[in-house]
Amino acid sequence: MLNSRGCIISIFDPRWHTNKRTPLGLIRFIFSKQFLLNVALACILGGVGIIALYFWLGAYTEHGKTVAAPDFTGVPIGDIEAFADTTEVEWIIVDSLYTDEYPKGTVAEQEPKPGYRVKRGRKIYLTVNAVLPKQVTVPNVRNLSLRQAKAVLESVGLRLGELQYKPDIAKNAVLDQLIRGKSAKEGQMAVMGTVVDLILGDGLSNTRVPIPYLLYYRLDEATDRLNLSSLNLATFKIDTPVVDSGLVRVYKQIPAFKEKELVPLGTSFILYLTDDTLSIEYDSTLYSKPLPLDSLIIEEEFDETDFDQ
């Protein structure tokens, strides 16, 4: 083999083995003390660097250190910043709604919920209760069926009110819609949650429907069952003050449920509710039984005397 000066070097020459560019020289260099010392030093420095990075990241991200999300609910908009200064989190208003559950201009909802464990500096997303209620356009539900009208009204945030019946060939079809006793005009604006009363046709017959079983139902469920049977909720009474109305259940209804007994369309009911659900005596078979609805509606022959009355 030729050296750097062009002279021939035998493979048995010691200079051949000391040349690091040869395979044997490279192997000898790898196992040399200098190389092994450098590798050990690099491993030590790398390990120290990884450990230092681990502890630095833990301190920087505050790993395992959390605080309970404060309760912003009910805090006025003008006091949110001052309230947040007493906490270890940040806040941002992302939405608004209108509800009667909280004072106007206060926080109604937050995410994450109060008490949820979060990192310090975490942003809490707030929804405030609007000062002015949201306005919606009252949809025209005339000539729709009761079920369709109810679905349309609720889809825009309005509530179904009293059902009134008058002689008309179209049974359970909406003849007119009323807001505070006046016929709603097309394109009229109303506050979200406004009650809309409906005038329905009775089909020119003395139509009567079965009394629905309402015991142990929640107030909203009982109201829906009354509406589906073309009946009304006159009023309701809750025995004891409760925070959540969804916890109370019906324990008494007037008229009382009697199998095979019928009442005229539009009959008004009075409901009594309690949060002591264990004391309610109810029939579980009737509670879970679906409404008979139109299949059991009884129509009696129309009498002109009744119409005159």
In the chain, where the domains are located:
14-61, 67-129, 133-204, 205-309
DSSP 131-164: SSPPEEEPP--TTSBHHHHHHHHHHTT-EEEEEE
Rounded Cα gap, residues 309 and 303, in angstroms:
10
CATH topology of domain 133-204: Trypsin Inhibitor V; Chain A (3.30.10)
State how far the Cα of 214 lies from the Cα of 223, in Å rounded to an integer.
9
Cβ–Cβ < 8 Å for 137, 188: yes
Whether residue 147 contacts residue 168, with contact meaning beta carbons closer than 8 Å, is answered with no
Q: Is the dihedral of CA 176, 177, 179, 180 positive or negative?
A: positive
Tokens of 33: 């003390």
Q: Which residues contact 121 (CB under 8 A, 6 or more apart)?
A: 88, 89, 90
Cα–Cα distance measured from residue 208 to residue 195, given in angstroms and rounded to the nearest whole number: 25
Helix (H, G, I), strand (E, B) or coil at 24: helix
Burial profile 154-174: b = 16 or more Cβ within 10 angstroms, e = fewer: eeebbebbebbbeeeeebbbb
CATH placement of domain 67-129? 3.30.10.20
Q: Which two tokens stand for residue 298?
A: 């009884």
Query: Residue 268: which H helix or E strand, with range?
Result: strand 268-274
What is the reported pTM? 0.48
- The per-residue pLDDT string of the chain (309 residues; one tens digit each, 9 = 90 and over) reads 444 555 544 444 455 445 545 667 667 767 777 878 888 888 888 888 888 887 777 666 655 678 888 899 888 988 988 888 888 888 898 888 777 778 888 998 999 888 888 888 888 999 998 877 778 899 999 989 888 999 999 888 898 888 888 887 787 889 999 998 899 887 889 888 889 999 988 776 677 888 999 999 999 899 989 988 888 888 888 887 766 667 889 999 999 998 888 888 888 899 999 988 888 888 888 887 777 654 445 444 444 444 333
Evaluate whether 67-129 and 133-204 have a shared fold.
Answer: yes
pLDDT value, residue 22:
61
Of 299, 273, 136, the closest CA to residue 214 belongs to: 273
